[in-house]
Copies of this chain bind each other. A is one copy, B any other.
Amino acid sequence: MGKPVRIIIIGGVAAGASAAARARRLNEDAEIKIIEKSTYVSFANCGMPYHIGGEITNRQRLLLNTPDSLKARFNIDVYVNHEVIEIDRKAKNITVRDLTSRKKKLTFEYDKLLIATGARHIELPIDGIDAKNVFPLRHISNMDKIKHYIETYNPMTAVVLGAGYIGVELAEQLKRVGIEVTMVEKYDQVMPVLDPEMATVVEEHIIDSAIKVIKNDGVVEIITEGDETPVGVALRLESGREIRAELILMCIGITPEVTLAKEAKLKLGETGAIVVNDKMQTSDKSIFAAGDAVESRHRVTSKSVWMPLAGPANMQGRVAGTVMAGGTATYTGVIGTSIVKITNMAVAKTGLSEKETAEANMDYFVSFSHSPDHAMYYPGATMQHIKLIVENKTGRLLGAQVIGNERVDKAIDIFATVIGLGGNVDDLVNMDLAYAPPFSTVKSPALMAGMIAQNRLNGLDETIMADEVINDDYHVIDVRTASEHESDVVFEESELITVDNLRENIPVQHKGKKIALLCRAGLRSYIAYRMLKQHGFKKVKNINGGYLTSKYALKKDKK
């Protein structure tokens, strides 16, 4: 055995901690150091909103590891409150500053270096941003300050800037502790990762949860009132509107923390994040990078994307740790699976959104379904609203979005697995999934979504979106029951012919016309479509996702 390999890891949270532990398991002789700028290593940042909201009461549980525990179990030397200020690639060393005694500088030599510096929140260059009641949420220290502020000043109102994942989680949790919350989002929808008609469902739920939502607006100034009592200030928005807010949370986004990499002249990608190969090596083969600071290959498009998510960060860390320790491993890329809870709603996405698919110039169609998560006759069934994005011709599954109760994680993980293995809708439909009434329907929501897409792919169904129905002047035939038809009218003019009466009442007078068929979820209208198509109606179409999708798709357009 030669000289032990010296591994240094910059950043000790998800990717860094994973890499260190994995490296040790593979290589007992390596010298492994973690340099962490903050006071904590390996903390559960995804849990922070829930500690603020009190769902997680014990703060200690968020601290997954300490320098002592990492030393005892893995013989890793952890330097918290130490900042790397320079990487000398030629000398293969780093210069480190001890933040507790700012003058002290250390130099460590490395054989393998891992940059796991993560991301930092974007700072808005506006007046008042430094006010004492304005907080980002990236670190345990941010969390502690927010929690302390709430407990000390009992704010009645809060503004959450940014309606992405962390924004909605925080808004929910602040509401939970009795604070009136307003979300302000720069884009024209909440949760920009979703397609607009899915985001509209989420927005409605956020509003139903008594959280205010302002879209298409940004903050231009934070108006502070003195320095002593940081309670009782306001935000001025681009629209000119002013909103009072005793607490302001900055969730407008993050950017990869690449300062060190840039200074060391490592290659950065178009996304601004560090470029790595499938061994997690940067343009310098001795320097690895993993986690929120790197860009990754998207497994659907094969393009480089920056996707700061905990799962990929951990996996990239594991790969980097393996390779640094002398083992073999490959990171295959991101699928982009994510999920968020908003009270009793869960919202999840995997693969590409329709927006992303269109941007990638792929040939695709979309397909909506609305199915119960388990047998309707067994108590507690709730609807799962699913959107699939499918490649034309090949039927390859490109992406999925699911909204429903807490159980959407199952459907999204099935879709993610199909996407990860390059499967198409036939593969999905042929899947044998677990069925018993408390857990699923016999055609589980994932399979139903697949079957609907398969019908479309095979030419058994032709769908149309609600906006095209209106813009292209389709005659709408509503095949629901009379009472459904009366209680909910999405399309102002529509003719009622219940599906069960349609065969006896084929509307021959419309045979040459453009007809769009409407029902609640798109299933009865599919049956009606099949009937009319076979009766020689050439211009008949099925309204994609039925009333349940159209309601939101049109709402979005009415903005």
**A50 beta carbon closer than 8 Å to chain B:** yes
Measured CA separation A439–B47 after assembly (Å): 12
CB of A264 within 8 Å of the partner chain: no
A435 to B409, CA, bound (A): 8
A384 within 8 Å of B (CB atoms): no
CA A432 – CA B299 in complex, angstroms? 10
The reply to whether the CB of A220 lies closer than 8 angstroms to some CB of chain B is no
Nearest chain B CB to A42's CB is how many angstroms away?
Answer: 11
Residues of chain B contacted by A314 (CB below 8 angstroms):
442-443
Q: Which residues of B contact A29 (CB under 8 A)?
A: 534
Stretch at the interface among A139-147, A193-201, A525-533: A525-533
Query: Closest chain B residue to A529 by CB distance?
Result: B25
Asked if B412 and A434 sit within 8 Å, CB to CB, the answer is yes
- B438→A527 contact, CB < 8 A: no
Partner of A378, one of B47, B299, B410, B412: B47
8 Å CB interface, A401-435 against B: 406, 409-410, 412-414, 416-418, 420-421, 423, 427, 429-435
A430 CA to B366 CA, complexed, in Å: 26
Query: Contacting A434 at CB < 8 Å: which of B337, B443, B460, B534?
Result: B337
- Cβ-neighbour of A416 out of B62, B337, B433, B443 (below 8 A): B433
Q: Does A252 contact B (CB under 8 A)?
A: no
A310 at the interface (CB under 8 A from B): yes
**Cβ of B47 and Cβ of A437 under 8 Å apart?**
yes
| Interface: A206 (CB within 8 A) | no
Q: By the criterion CB–CB under 8 Å, are B47 and A442 in contact?
A: no
Q: Chain B nearest CB: distance from A412 CB in Å?
A: 5
Smallest beta-carbon distance A17→chain B, Å: 11
Whether A243 sits at the interface, judged by CB under 8 Å, is no
B530 touches A28 (CB 8 A): yes
Do the beta carbons of B346 and A55 come within 8 Å of each other? no
Contact A421 B427 (CB under 8 A): yes
Is A348 at the interface (CB under 8 A from chain B)?
yes
- Give Cα A346 to B439, complex, Å: 9
A409 CA / B440 CA spacing, docked (Å): 8
Q: A413 is contacted by which of B339, B413, B499, B527 (Cβ under 8 Å)?
A: B413
Cross-chain contact A530 with B433 (CB below 8 angstroms): no
| Structural contact, A340 and B436, CB atoms closer than 8 A | yes
A84 close to B (CB within 8 Å):
no
A335-B436 in contact (CB<8A): no
A434-B310 in contact (CB<8A): no
Instruction: Give the residues in chain B near A427, CB-CB below 8 Å.
Output: 420-421
Residue of A336, A377, A443 most packed against chain B (CB within 10 A): A377
Q: Chain B contacts of A421 at CB under 8 A?
A: 417-418, 421, 423, 427
Point out which of A348, A410, A436 has the most chain B C-beta atoms below 10 A from its C-beta: A436
Cα–Cα distance between A50 and B311 once the two chains are bound (Å): 38
A58-B310 contact in complex given A72-B500, A341-B436, A433-B413, C-beta closer than 8 Å? no
* Minimum Cβ distance to chain B for residue A417 (Å): 4
- Checking B46, B312, B432, B460 against A432 with a beta-carbon cut-off of 8 angstroms, the contacting residue is B312
When C-beta atoms are compared, the residue in chain B nearest to A311 turns out to be B435
Q: Residue on B with the closest CB to A498?
A: B72
Smallest Cβ-Cβ distance to A380: which chain B residue: B55
A434 touches B417 (CB 8 A): no
Pairwise interchain contact A350-B61, C-beta atoms closer than 8 A: no
Judging by beta carbons under 8 Å apart, are A431 and B439 in contact?
no
A-B contact pairs, 21 of them (CB 8 A): A28-B531, A28-B535, A50-B437, A73-B499, A165-B436, A311-B435, A311-B443, A335-B431, A337-B433, A338-B435, A406-B439, A414-B414, A414-B417, A416-B431, A416-B433, A417-B417, A417-B421, A417-B433, A420-B430, A420-B431, A421-B427
Nearest 10 CB-CB pairings of A with B: A335-B432, A61-B377, A28-B534, A339-B434, A72-B500, A410-B410, A417-B417, A421-B421, A409-B439, A332-B430
Apart from A58-B377, A61-B377, A417-B417, list 11 A-B contacts with CB within 8 A: A44-B437, A55-B378, A72-B500, A169-B436, A311-B442, A315-B432, A339-B435, A339-B436, A412-B434, A417-B421, A421-B427
